[in-house]
Amino acid sequence: MFDTAMTLNDVMFLAQGAGMTILVTLIAVVCGTVLGIIFGVVRYQVGPVWAAPLTFFLDVFRSIPLLIQLVLTFAFIGTVMKIRISGFSVACLVLTLYTSAYCAEIVRGAIESVPPTLRRASRSLGMTWGQDMRHIVLPLATRVAFPSWIGLALSVMKDSALVYVVQVTELLKSTQILITRLQEPLFLLMICGAFYFLISFPIARIGGYLERRWSND
List the domain boundaries for the chain.
13-216
CA distances from 216 to 52, 118, 146, 209, 210 (A): 38, 21, 15, 11, 10
CATH architecture of 13-216: Orthogonal Bundle (1.10)
Residue 179 and residue 185 in contact, taking contact as beta carbons nearer than 8 Å: yes
Of 6 and 110, which is predicted with more confidence? 110
Question: In this predicted structure, which of 86-90, 132-136, 171-175, 186-190 has the lowest mean pLDDT?
Answer: 132-136
Alpha-carbon gap, residue 161 to 211, rounded angstroms: 28
The mean predicted confidence, pLDDT, of the chain is: 88
pLDDT at 78: 82
- Flag whether the pTM goes above 0.85: yes
SS3 for 125? Answer: coil
Residue 149 and residue 106 in contact, taking contact as beta carbons nearer than 8 Å: yes
pLDDT at 20: 94
